[in-house]
Amino acid sequence: MSITTYPIAAIATAPGRGGIGIVRISGPDLSGFVHAFFSQPLRPRHAHFLPFNDAHGQAIDEGIALYFKAPHSYTGEDVLELQGHGGTAVLRRVLARCFEVGAAFGLRHAAPGEFTQRAFLNDRMDLAQAEAVADLINASSEAAAKGAMASLSGAFSNQINALADRIIHLRMLVEATLDFPEEEIDFLEKYQAAEQLQSIHDELQSLRRHAKQGQVMRDGLHVVLAGQPNVGKSSLLNALAGDEIAIVTDIAGTTRDRVTQLIHIDGVPIHIVDTAGLRETEDTVENIGIQRSWQEIAKANVILHLIDARHPNDDSDQTIISRLPQHTPTIRVYNKCDLLETSHLDLLPKENDSHLRISAHTGQGLETLRQRLLHLAGWSPNTESPWLARERHLHALDRCDEHLQLARFHAQHDDQILDLFAEELRLAHTELCEITGTFTSDDLLGEIFSSFCIGK
């Protein structure tokens, strides 16, 4: 018997005390287990109020038993759910009793995500939908929860499958032509292959843009506050968070280590990282903090380089600018503008996509900063992604784009290299199928489902 056909059991509710706790069992045929546990059969899809007895017939708990016959269940197998009281001790006793009864049937403890993995293996959902289960559980905002639910309902998968079908159709035409070489000379023109490929590529670009928004909605944007000591990094963190997260004083070097706070802007998670002030110092502890600051800067999606508006041309800021990663979007944020005379504001660079004037103390410019961060995240309320996406989805879409670009390159030459054209289409199709799990490795499945909670 394959390891995936053994029945499995686990507590499906979060640890701790609660009004209701659930023990879930799944397997190819649980009728024998059900009869052994309750000494009677259960009617599928009906709620039965019963005692959950131990081996001596004494009640451990009492609650609702729900029996789902395959394939009409979450996993596609027989599923039994025992819904009792939510105390940790009582749930463990019920689960232990399940293993006592289930020993004869090979019942074992479920691995993390194994119920959802079986749902995927039994075609109850594709891989993108299975990932959405974990995203729905872990959603940190209402918008993320809606996006995860849309993915779970198949919104993302449907768009992937529609694009894959278009590539398959073009592949079919190419490969049919390869079977009849005498027709090959007219293929690109006869079937408007170049036009079809361009249309497919345009659809992929739209999908990539929406996926990028979905990935930002799921994972958030990593924003690092960088700059000299006492330019207001901690004050800005507190202002954006709406709370006193970081210590603020007039003493340079107050922040010795990174401070991270998660905020939400229009439902988009933003991870703000306050760092130690960047300067030359002989303080050993502060130097460690400065080294960690540069490490955070190297990992940032966006850098906010804070500059004291009263000293906009300080040499130390120019040194910092020379060391900042060139490939990372950076905004020069001129803080403490409330301390400047109006006439002195003209000495600052004009506001644009990379320069901004603010006051963390009064709140001036903060809303503009928030909108700038959303823009850098690729987020637009008018083109809101209805589903979540993961980094692996973006990588697969990027690789699909590379293969379509190569296919277009071959199409621009002549019909004598249609075999290369067809091969690039095949590879592009394979990348899309990896998103939904049509073609995927066991290693990838293990990595994905191991991140789930036990019982799901």
Give the residue numbers of the binding site for Mg(2+).
234, 255
Coil vs helix vs strand at 375: helix
Q: Single out the residue of 270, 261, 239 nearest to residue 364, CA to CA.
A: 239
- Taking a C-beta distance cutoff of 8 angstroms, is the pair 435, 396 a contact? yes
Give DSSP secondary structure letters for 433-456: HHHHTSS--HHHHHHHHTTSPTT-
CA Rg, the chain, in Å? 29
Q: Single out the residue of 449, 434, 447, 427 nearest to residue 157, CA to CA.
A: 434
| Binding site members | 24, 81, 124, 230-235, 249-255, 274-277, 456
Q: Single out the residue of 135, 150, 137, 163 nearest to residue 386, CA to CA.
A: 150
- Taking a C-beta distance cutoff of 8 angstroms, is the pair 219, 269 a contact? yes
- What gap in Å lies between CA 304 and CA 233, rounded to an integer? 9
For residue 89, the tally of other CB atoms under 10 A from its CB is 10
Coil vs helix vs strand at 274: strand
| Binding site members for GTP | 230-235, 249-255, 274-277
| Binding site members for K(+) | 230, 249, 251, 254
| Binding site members for (6S)-5-formyl-5,6,7,8-tetrahydrofolate | 24, 81, 124, 456
Q: Single out the residue of 223, 228, 224 nearest to residue 310, CA to CA.
A: 228
Task: Report CA torsion sign: 238, 244, 246, 250.
Answer: positive
- Taking a C-beta distance cutoff of 8 angstroms, is the pair 21, 11 a contact? yes
Coil vs helix vs strand at 122: coil
Tokens matching residue 45: 């899809």
Calculate the CA 446 to chain-centre distance.
17
Residues in the chain: 456
Q: Single out the residue of 369, 314, 364, 306 nearest to residue 337, CA to CA.
A: 364
Task: Report CA torsion sign: 301, 302, 303, 304.
Answer: negative
b/e per residue, 321-349, with b = 16+ CB within 10 A? eeebeeeebbbbbbbbbeebeeeeeeebe
Calculate the CA 280 to chain-centre distance.
38
